Amino acid sequence: MPRGDERTGASDGRPGGPLAGAVGWARSPGGRKLVRYSMVSVVAVAISQAVLAVCYGVLDWSARVANITAVCVSAVPAYYLNRAWAWGKRGRSHLLKEIVPFWAMALLGLVLSTWATDAAESYAVARWSSRLVQTVIVMAASLAAFGVLWVAKFAILNRYLFVDGPRRPEAEPGGGQLSATLEP
């Protein structure tokens, strides 16, 4: 007789197997944040790539100017969607705890992606005469630059920016318990 769930092929004893575990995790508070952050990233990338394609490919702007425009346009909805939807924050944004760090990370992304798109434009223009090919290469460079920062940005947003009051004890080393050496 085979072991595991015959309907799903799972061998870990849970109905649905690893997929059910992933779905369960995605429904947890941390999983929901990551899924929502990912969905906000998809929206921001779609906006950024569309603006970049129009500005660089159609309007014939330089990659540098087109990328700066694309990042500035996409950063505004990314901030508000991440804050309100992914992290569930309401009310006024805190200047020093939320706005400044978010825009500092956006600036880092802007610098990295502008460098990447500028280098990609130089590479593409030297090798291909087709503006379409050049546009695809510039867009890929922008996407790759932001991909590098994506994981680090989630960690920073989740841990430092959009937190709900004091850090949870279970997030502290040692589960938030004081060491016996600190007792009088």
pLDDT tens, position by position, 66-82 = 999 999 999 999 999 98
Of 65, 32, 33, the residue nearest 51 (C-alpha)? 65
In the block, tokens 């490919």 appear at 57
Mean pLDDT by 10 residues, the chain (184 residues): 46 62 77 88 96 98 98 95 88 89 90 97 98 98 91 76 56 38 34
pLDDT tens, position by position, 140-161 = 999 999 988 887 777 777 777 7
pTM of the model: 0.72
SS3 5: strand
In the block, tokens 């880092």 appear at 108
Q: What is the crossing angle of helices 63-81 and 131-156, to 10°?
A: 40
